[in-house]
Each structure stands twice: as C-alpha cells, then as structure tokens.
Structure 1
Amino acid sequence: MASDPVAPFSSRDAVVCRNVGKTWAPGTPRAHEALRAIDLDIAPREFVVLLGPSGCGKSTLLYLIAGLEDATSGELWSFGDRVETPSPQRSLIFQEASLFPWLTVGQNVAFGLSIAGMAAEERARIVRDALQRVGLWEAIDKRPHELSGGMRQRVAVARALAMKPRVLLMDEPFAALDVQTRARMQSFLLDVWEASGASVLFVTHHIDEAVALADRVVVFTARPGRIKTIVPVDLPRPRDPFSPAAEALRRHLTAQLQDEVDRAFAEQEVVIA
C-alpha cells in the first residue's frame, strides 16, 4: 500500500478508505482496474449503501474492507487500526447464505465461535441470543435445506452477529429473494442493525433498496469504480416508499446512475465485440 500522506480522519470511524485502488491480476494480460481513488469514511452505527452498475467494484471494496484482499494502492482503517488481515470485528455476508449444509442451524451459527475456542456453555448462550434476535430459535436443529431462502439469509446474519462485529459488510444479500420476501428482510435487517449497534456497508443494484435502507448512498461510476457522489438520506424510519420525498430521492438516484449504467453496458459491448 502507498505511504503518501492522507487526509485526516477520526480513530472512532468504523471504516476509513484513503485513495484506495484495486487492480486484479496486475502485470498480466488479464489485468483490469476495479477501483480507483476511493475516499470514504463510515461513522459508527451508520448504514451506508453502495450503489452502482455491475462490475464497478462495489463487492471488491467490501473484500478489501473485510481484509480478504489487499488493496493495490491506498490505505484502509477500521476504528483506528489498519486493515491488513480479516478480523471478527468485520463480518462479510455474501449474496448466497454460504451455510455448511452438513451442519444444523445452531452449529452453523456457532462455527466461528468454535474456531475461536469459546467454551461450549458460553457458545450456546450466544447462539441462542443470535437466533432469537433473527426469529429462528425454533429452527436451531434444522439443516439449511429445510429452510427458505429468506430464512437461510437470516441464519447467515445470526452467524455474523454471533461474532459481535463492529462492521457488517453485506454483498447483495437479498438479490435472490422475491419482492415480498426482500421487503420483509429489509425491515428485519433494520431492526437487527439498530439492536446490534454495528455499522453496515450494504451493496445493491436496486435503487428502491437503497432508498429503504440507507443513511447515505454512495453512487459509483462504471469501472474503474470511483465515487461519483454521496447522497444523504434524511427520511425518517420506518419509511413510506410511496411518499413524495422517497419518490424524489428515487428519481435523483436514477439520474445519477443512468449515465454510469449506459457506460458500463457500452464497455461490455466493446469487450464482447
């Protein structure tokens, strides 16, 4: 990572990105720049949505913050500590629930605690609390294949919450769900977030989802992903998706995103040709 001077930031910030860039497969014919010059500060307990066209590096940024990948340039911090490796303080939830099919719901939620060497009694207490918070205590002995898609994602959230993260990173976790289930999961997530006290970075392609969830919406350009604009959302919760203010925000985000989506499609057509 670069050692150039960076803009000042607070050690209390949940996430800090300074001039962060990522190039995949550098120095090879397959090299491509995913992210460029990302500067972003996330406050404690803040819910931030990352919105942008496909391939703009939103998920890549989550992997960098999680410590699963190294940035090509720039620096990242979380609560004053440089991000260099994965940490239980930063939990990542993928688009698919990624549960172990051979384990029960309870065993899946306890997995990280077991790896950390936590005593069985304490582990059982935390698992019970996490499953009660997501409304799935009754399913503790079921296997993932016995659950609906929405229930599996709730188990994934419970597993993340069991580690008591200070930052929850969510990569399109509701993308595979139907419209009705997605709306219920959004409401559920807001309740869990407020109770947990964690900061959330949530990736989505859906403007409606951004309007429903965010304190701020970070709009990305087409690849290489840069921050085009950051839109604060001052709507009270619970939000009425049909209110004039929500509709105005939806229109504003659509306008901000349209040129980037068009450019992303044009670039894909060039590659295919």
Structure 2
Amino acid sequence: MADAPRLNGLASAVSCVGVGKIWNAGSKRAQEALIDIDLEIETGEFVVLLGPSGCGKSTLLYLIAGLEKPTSGVINSLSEPVNGPAPERSLIFQETSLFPWLNVWQNVSFGLSLCGVPTETRKETARQVLERVGLSDAFEKRPDELSGGMRQRVAVARALAMQPKVLLMDEPFAALDVQTRVKMQGFLLDVWDVSKASVLFVTHHIDEAIALADRVVVFTARPGRIKAVVSIDLPRPRDLTSPALLAMRVELTSLLRDEVDRAFAEQESLSVTR
C-alpha cells in the first residue's frame, strides 16, 4: 500500500514519488533494489522503515541523502529537488565512523570545518550540541576512550551540529547491547523532541519501531516496495507490554513474516546458483 500525502500546511520534509533504484543498471549484475516508492515525511515526523535484510531500506536513505541517484522517480526535500548531499539532510550510519585522530569536539565540528567556520565558533557549537546529548565531559576525549553508546551519541551530535532539517539514521543502534540500545532510544527521542528535525530511521527490530515511530513503513522483500504504513498515535515513552502495543507487534510480525520468508528463499537460491 503506497503512502498518501500527509500535508500540514508546510513543505514536506521528504517527498518520494515513483522512486526506483537499479544497482549496476544495464549490466549482467543489475539488481532492482526499489520499485515505485511513494512516501511523504512531514516536518517534525518520526518515521521508521521496517523490513527484511536486503529490501532496500538503506538504499532509500542513501537516495534521500543525495549519495546516490534514483533510477526512476523524483525525490524532493523541503520543496527542493535532491540532487546531492546537503547540510539540511544528515545521515548517521550503523558504524559511527568517527575519526580516531580527532578528539570529540573536533569530530563533532568536522562538517563545520569543511564549511570554513572559524575554530572558536566550531568549538562553541560542539560544546552546545555535546551538552544536548549529555557528553559535555567528553569534549577533549578521543573516540577510543568512549563506550559504544557514547560514540553513537557523538555521531548524533556531529549530525546536529549541522542543524539538519532531516535526520536519516541507518540502524544506528544495531551494534549495541540490549540495555544500551533501549537507553539510546530514549536519548534519541529526547534529542528529536528538542531539535524538531524530521527523522527517517531504518531498523530490523519490531520493538524498536514500535517504541520510536509516529508511522512504521513496512517494506516487501527485494525489490523493495511499500507493503503497508502503520500509524502509532500513542504518547512516549511507550509501554511495549500494553495490550495496544502487543497487538501492534502481532500486526507487524504478520506483515513481515511472508517477506522474511521470501528474502531467505532468495538468499538460498543465490547461494545455490553460485
């Protein structure tokens, strides 16, 4: 089911119309990753992309970030066509990708340095965003002195330093243990509430999607299409053991079951042909 436009009087943070992506198009290695994606993300909305491995969720983030171009369709952000990377759209990867030779504040302000912002201004911006993510004491530390959760918070701070309107997050908590992951989800919701950025968040985890999202966009197995959009109009923080959310977990599990089976079958078929 494609997503209908969700207009609130403001320009959509992200608008995808008929978006498709074929990797290695025109070659024997061509693979269709996405087909006919129609999706509108409102200003300030938290949307989670949920689906089996290889269904094109991350590909869609890269297209919206401007790191790749769609094979078909149109992507706009804040009424402007996406033709490449831009400061208003920040992408956070699963791996934090911090520079080990820079300290925390230098990592946080790295994007600003590329824009020619003076050192003192960069330091002050880094100080402000590190305070927002609860890492003021880590200002001069190196990445290898931080825990996994702290490094991920630094990555979020680096994105916030650019004052993005759209925050794209590709399974940012996947490498964390369960307890740290839950803590980071709460931290992210606090940061989102203050920043007012629109968030597009990729995950494989149903509980994570339920805890975070205003809407969950469920993808089919590859090539990825939008199978369903499930709205969650409940206050946060959410009790995942409540009857309403348990029912939602059952609904999302049912939507995903066939797609996960299809994805596994495709992977097994590929391994046999190789």
Q: TM-score surpassing 0.5?
A: yes
How do 1:6-85 and structure 2 match up within 5 A? Answer: 12-85=11-84
* 1:202 is the counterpart of 2:201: yes
* 1:27 Cα deviation after fit: 1.1
Query: Hey, what's the Cα distance between the residues in 2 that align with 1:145 and 1:130?
Result: 20
Asked if structure 1 preserves the Cα contact closer than 8 Å seen for 2:12 and 2:77, the reply is: yes
How large is the Cα RMSD of the aligned pairs?
1.2
- State the Cα distance separating 1:154 from its structure 2 match: 0.2
SS class of match (2:20):
strand
Deviation by residue 1:132-185 (Cα, 9 ceiling, x = unmatched): 011011001111111111000000000000000000000000000000000000
Query: Equivalent residue for 1:3?
Result: none
Paired with 1:11 and 1:40, the residues of 2 have a C-alpha distance of 16
Superposition TM-score, scaled by structure 2 size: 0.96
**SS of structure 2 residue aligned to 1:188:** helix
Match of 1:231 in 2: 230
The residue type paired with residue 129 of structure 2 is A
Structure 2: gaps spanning 5 or more residues = none
Letter in 2 for 1:27: G
- One-letter code aligned to 2:53: S
1:121 CA drift (Å)? 2.5
Q: Which runs of 5+ in 1 are unaligned?
A: 1-6
Residue 76 of structure 2 contacts residue 82 of structure 2 at CA under 8 Å; is this kept in 1? Answer: yes
Name the structure 1 match of 2:146.
Answer: 147
| Partner amino acid, structure 1, of 2:201 | F
Partner of 2:133: 134
Q: 1:4 is matched with which residue?
A: none
Matched residues in 2 for 1:256 and 1:189: separation? 26
1:192 CA displacement: 0.2
2:174 is matched with 175
Scaled by the length of structure 1, the TM-score of the pair is 0.96
Deviation at 1:119, TM superposition (A): 2.0
Q: Does 1:268 align with 2:272?
A: no
Distance 1:195 1:229 in 2: 29
Residue 118 of structure 1 aligns to a residue whose secondary structure is: coil
How far, CA to CA, are the matches of 2:215 and 2:199 in structure 1? 11
Deviation beyond 6 Å, 4+ runs, structure 1: 7-11
Q: Which amino acid aligns with 1:178?
A: D
The one-letter code matched in structure 2 to 1:219 is V
